Amino acid sequence: MDQSDLPQNHWQLSERARKLTSSAIREILKVTERPEVISFAGGLPAPVTFPAERMREASDRILRDNPAAALQYSATEGYLPLREWVAKRHSVNGATIRPSQVLITTGSQQALDLLGKVLIDPASPVLVETPTYLGALQSFSMYEPRYVQVPTDEQGLIPAGLTPALTAGARLLYAQPNFQNPTGRRLPIERRRALAEFAKKSAFPVIEDDPYGALDYAGDPLPTILSMAPDHVVHLGSFSKVLAPGLRVGYIVAPEELHFKLVQAKQATDLHTPSFTQRIVHEVVKDGFLDTHVPTIRALYRDQCEAMLAALARCMPEGVTWNRPEGGMFIWVALPAGIDSMKLLEAAVAQNVAFVPGAPFFANEGQGNTLRLSFVTVPPAKIDEGVARLAALIRERI
Ligand code: PMP
């Protein structure tokens, strides 16, 4: 239902609510639910990767052995064995992470909201990549920051661009070093080191949002910035891309002082993340399941990414460029200057193919000739067909 279809009343909404807008893209993309549409628009993981049988066994065991605890209210901080598992998993490359730094959240999307709540005042400067995750912009925008775009190139955020003039008064820097949504870029090791050094000296936290880190196709992850500066970085993790997003289980690793404030904010928001889903996640991951499961997800996404890269190389006209992701779920495409990807989307949807235009991923002025393609839920034959249709539409516009 569109907002204009809703019955009108005269209730006084908050200033904040009045500023909320529905995205034009979301309206256009509604049609992508039709089965005949080849959609490269979704950010959803492939359902074939959900370990349903493991989950069923885990929930049976939990409900048999300790139903009272699984179905009862529980601590805001989260289920202690899961917090301990997270702390251990991140105690690598010489870093020690304490369970007292870990807060389990209702997806990492909630982590973004909680960080906005405790760090942002109206008009506070917030540093973001160019472009950045649309959902982070939506969460932070509830707290009315002033966005400052950090210079970025095809390798990601440029730490040397974090000058005192640019960063003065900032409340946080939001970064995604691994297979960024929307660009698929991975930040090189020397830039990670530079960002860790920056975090150690900075008067505000560096937020490392990392839902895609495990999905590196070569199985050769780069160290997290958290591991390089464990008491100066706030790290967000998620089980959405390695188990299932419907569980809504993620986490924040933060220095204790900030952790405490986040716990207070979370208590007011939802008391705690569901006791039952936290226990299911712990039961499934505790004996090393991810070590065998994640490689199967990587292999699937790597093959589909290869199929899309091959189709792009075969079909796209000269002047269209894209990156070669080393992991994750997205390819970022730049069209020749002057082609508006928002207009292209309307034409594409009429031909039953969809993608997400790039402009909304920019906090301030966007590049209207960019777009994001996801390959994870589309089988290779359909990838070929969809890319060929898109290429034909682009060729008409050159
Ligand atoms: N951060 C990024 C960069 C994402 O792409 C997503 C999901 N699309 C999230 C956070 C939120 O993930 P979840 O709440 O499912 O953990």
Q: Residue 346's pLDDT is what?
A: 92
Q: What is the pLDDT of residues 239-248, one digit of tens each?
A: 999 999 999 9
Is 359 in contact with 388 (CB distance < 8 Å)?
no
CA of 108 to the centre of ligand 1 (A): 6
Assess whether the C-beta atom of 377 lies below 6 angstroms from ligand 1.
Answer: no
Assess whether the C-beta atom of 43 lies below 6 angstroms from ligand 1.
Answer: yes
User: What mean pLDDT do residues 372-398 have?
Assistant: 95
pTM of the entire predicted model: 0.96
Pairing verdict, β 330-334 and 370-374: antiparallel
> What would the CATH number be for the domain defined by 52-286?
3.40.640.10
Residue 294's H or E segment, with its range, is helix 289-315
Confidence of residue 6 (pLDDT cuts 50, 70, 90): low
For 259, residues 6+ apart whose C-beta sits below 8 A from its C-beta are 100, 101, 102, 103, 252
Q: What is the pLDDT of residues 146-192, one digit of tens each?
A: 999 999 999 999 999 999 999 999 999 999 999 999 999 999 999 99
Given ligand 1 and candidates 109, 174, 186, which is best to mutate, with the most ligand atoms within 8 Å of its CB?
109
DSSP state of 203: S
Q: What is the ipTM of this complex?
A: 0.99
- Chosen CATH of 22-43+292-397 out of 3.90.25.10, 3.40.50.620, 3.90.800.10, 3.90.1150.10: 3.90.1150.10
φ and ψ of 379, to 5 deg: -70, 155
Assess whether the C-beta atom of 183 lies below 6 angstroms from ligand 1.
Answer: no
CA of 81 to the centre of ligand 1 (A): 23
Q: How far apart are CA 260 and CA 101, in angstroms?
A: 9
Q: Where are the domains of the chain?
A: 22-43+292-397, 52-286
Of 250, 212, 274, 246, the residue nearest 115 (C-alpha): 250
